[in-house]
Amino acid sequence: MSEVGTRETIETTNPTTGKRLDHHEYMTDKEVEDAISKCHEAFGKWKKVSPEDRAEVIKAIGKELMNAKEELAQLMTDEMGKTLKQSGQEVDLCAAICQYTAEIGPNELKTEEREMVNGKKGRVSYAPIGVVYGIQPWNYPSYQVVRYSIASLMAGNAVLLKHASNVTGTGKFLERIYSDAGIPDGLFTTLVISHDQSDEVIKNKLVRGVTLTGSPDAGRNIGQKATAQLKKTVLELGSNDAYLVFEDADIDLAVKACVKGRIYNNGETCIAAKRFIVTEKVYDEFREKFVKTMSEVKTGNPNNESTQLGPMAREDLRDDLHEQVVKSVEKGAKIACGGEIPDGDGFFYPATVLENVQPGQPAYEDELFGPVASLIKAVDNEDAMRIANDSKFGLGGGIFSKDEEAAFEIAEKHFDTGMVFINSFGLADPAMPFGGVKDSGYGREHGGFGLKEFVNIKGVMKR
């Protein structure tokens, strides 16, 4: 953070080069208050628009995202370092969310006729509540914003955004895209503000809901502040996802998916594959192939098509990750590949595999938010499931087994997470619920569920 004139500014840095990218002025307290008031005024008009007409605007946002795909993708790569190809994929996903939400929204929000126990008729309606405030991270600069904002807008709410400071440019660019799509002035507003100003936004009486994607500590902090104001929250707080390789797994398939699951988005994904729990029967084969493939991952400039792994988003994040690796090794883990900070410009960290991972090590207990894999040996399938659930987190996970029906049953009945992938590594899908349990937070987005997180589910009855 620096000062230009009398105003403090946010400076963004290109993680590929380590050099300054841009600067953005913080808003004054008065500008923040005015923006909230304007957003609330826009809500007063937007809530009267029919769901069908709202859906048309949501579709238009999707189209504008695709129109700006090249510029937006490059900006995301410049600001946080993901490969340019994956930045493009992120824009595609954002557009798909818009299309899916527009298609299902009117029906999901339709007033329901319901027969009451006394035989009389009642209605259940889904009324928007007002301004929803989103505090979002840097790892998916567009997707994280689209995920909550499109559902909120479809429901008839207005939206405020506080984006992570290192992707401020993307936050401001998204505001422009939404505006170009024709939403009412002020209905979606990016606030360039400090943490102290953010706390005041939560307290503002015009703000009715708060959603955050971030760390468990950030979730506890924001959750407490919002709850103190009696405001609804949705929290998505990261994880230490376990991918289980059962005795009957297709090892080549498992290795390919697990490597992708660990290095995708430079390993900086809440729902990334992080712990690899492999049954003793197939452990040696999986370990040999997994370590070999991870050691061959091509790290480099994310703008190059051949690059598989770009830099980490910030230098402090790389330092934190390396410290977790070092502490894990000090407590008995072994480095199978990687594990050293390279020389040169940028915030690069190699694809790394830790083995002999045991309870008490950061690699076992905590989220490693970067391209570091924790390899754990299990006695059998049942032991693998036990180890997977031995975690304070519960966002996602995976099972590799040729008996897919059995894998589905185990996932449904025993895996203590919000999402499970069978014989694959998966990210978000607009048609499926997204969210977790335990320290991974609460609430659901996508699949129609997010549409009803910030609405007044209203019962209307007559005698």
Tell me the domains of the chain and their CATH numbers: 2-238+440-461 (3.40.605.10), 242-428 (3.40.309.10)
Is the pLDDT reported for residue 407 higher than 50? yes
pLDDT at 3: 45
- Using CA atoms, how far apart are residues 377 and 375, in angstroms rounded to an integer? 7
Residue 195, exposed/middle/buried by CB under 10 A (0-12, 13-18, 19+)? exposed
Q: What percent of the chain has pLDDT over 90?
A: 97
Sequence length of the chain is 463
Q: Are 374 and 354 in contact (CB under 8 A)?
A: yes
Q: What percent of the chain has pLDDT over 70?
A: 99
b (16+ CB within 10 A) / e for 307-335: bbbbbbbbeebbeebbebbeebbebebeb
Helix (H) or strand (E) holding 145: helix 143-154
- Average pLDDT for 133-140: 98
Residue 272, exposed/middle/buried by CB under 10 A (0-12, 13-18, 19+)? buried
- Average pLDDT for 137-166: 98
237-294: per-residue pLDDT in tens? 999 999 999 999 999 999 999 999 999 999 999 999 999 999 999 999 999 999 999 9
pLDDT at 463: 76
Is the pLDDT reported for residue 1 higher than 60? no
User: How far does the chain reach from its first CA to its final CA, in angstroms?
Assistant: 61
- Using CA atoms, how far apart are residues 63 and 51, in angstroms rounded to an integer? 18
Q: Are 145 and 171 in contact (CB under 8 A)?
A: yes
pLDDT at 306: 97
- Average pLDDT for 187-195: 98
For residue 311, the one-letter residue type is P
What are the two backbone dihedrals, phi and then psi, of residue 245, each rounded to the nearest 5 degrees? -110, 100
Does the predicted model carry a pTM greater than 0.95?
yes
161-171: per-residue pLDDT in tens? 999 999 999 99
- Average pLDDT for 54-59: 98
- Using CA atoms, how far apart are residues 313 and 349, in angstroms rounded to an integer? 11
pLDDT at 2: 46
- Using CA atoms, how far apart are residues 434 and 175, in angstroms rounded to an integer? 24
- Average pLDDT for 177-206: 98
- Using CA atoms, how far apart are residues 266 and 421, in angstroms rounded to an integer? 20
Helix (H) or strand (E) holding 252: helix 251-263
- Using CA atoms, how far apart are residues 250 and 289, in angstroms rounded to an integer? 12
How wide is the angle at C-alpha 75 spanned by C-alphas 69 and 78, nearest 5°? 140
> Which residues form the catalytic set?
236, 270
Which long-range contacts (C-beta less than 8 Å, at least 24 apart) are formed by 145-149?
145/170, 145/171, 145/174, 146/65, 146/94, 146/97, 146/98, 146/174, 147/97, 147/428, 147/434, 147/445, 147/446, 147/450, 148/211, 148/234, 148/445, 148/450, 149/178, 149/188
pLDDT at 6: 67
